[in-house]
Amino acid sequence: MNYETILYEVRDGIAEIRYNRPHRLNAVTAQLYEELDVALGEAVADRDVRVLLLTGEGRAFCVGADLKEHKAGRTAFDRRQYLQGEQMVCKRLVQLDKPVVAAVNGYALGAGAEMAIAADFLLMAESAEIGFPEVSIGNSLGGGVTWLLPRLVGLAKARELAFLGERIKGEEAVRIGLANRVFADAGFLDAAREFASRLATKAPYSMRLAKEQLNLSAERTLDAALVAELEGMTFAGTTRDWQEGVDAFAEKRAPVFKGE
């Protein structure tokens, strides 16, 4: 597909998706959500893709909704469809059966922050800022933030971030558990790609099981988690990758997993 609002490239097992509206700091439009949804589907269907990497062109990751697109004449149905687009994209990022890395290279605000925390791993450049300004501008939180944010930083801190709408930088985001790593601005994307490359060497089925089970952990009892883990271990033991892991350990070499 010829994308207009994003860039899509696959190399070395990583599908790199870059928001490509730098003239608007990658502010989102309905078209961007639609194209992102298609690109996610493309990455899922591609067996060569092990990891997805999301980032932005220019000096921002994504600053949220493009307010210039919210013109007079849009019907209530149009507005709801636009909002539904974000909800579905964020849900897909959370539930995708491949790990997702968000590389926040600049501002990640509103819908941009919501998509960033929907990823499995959040990496931030040293000068990047993330924030949830929705309440401060009379809007409401979306993208699963009310479900995700308390799980990441706890309810008290989630309230603070949502109610005050303050932007925080990478070091603080890591300190409170919102982000995983912070890297220097210089060479940030290379560092993010190296992080994604390390994930791409892991066993695909094992990562899929781990993601699903960790995402559901807060909703399961201990007994339910043990049953799910038992099923997961039993299934993993039937794969060729499991045997490759055993053989590589015995032979003192790095395993080469094929997703089989």
Report the mean per-residue pLDDT for the chain. Answer: 94
Tell me if 1 is assigned to some domain. no
Residue 123: the pLDDT is: 98
pLDDT for 82: 83
Domain count, the chain: 2
User: Is residue 30 located within the same domain as residue 142?
Assistant: yes
The pLDDT score that the predictor gives to residue 84 is 87
Asked if residue 256 belongs to a domain, the reply is: no
pTM: 0.93
Confirm whether 229 is a catalytic residue.
Answer: no
Query: Are residues 149 and 213 both part of a single domain?
Result: no
Is there a domain that residue 255 lies in? Answer: no
Ranges under pLDDT 70 in the chain = 70-73
Residues 145, 214 within the same domain: no
Q: What's the pLDDT at 107?
A: 97
Q: Which of 114, 129, 212, 244 is catalytic?
A: 114
Do 53 and 162 fall into the same domain?
yes
- Give the per-residue pLDDT at 74: 76
Q: What pLDDT is recorded for position 206?
A: 96
- Say what the pLDDT of residue 81 is: 83
The answer on 64 and 12 residing in a single domain is yes
Active site residue 57: no
**For residue 238, what are the domain limits?**
204-250
Whether residues 192 and 227 share a domain: the answer is no
Q: Are residues 10 and 53 in the same domain?
A: yes
Same domain, 86 and 176: yes
Whole-angstrom CA distances from 139 to 5, 31, 85, 162 are 25, 21, 17, 11
Annotated catalytic residue within 134, 166, 194, 212:
134
State the pLDDT at residue 19: 97
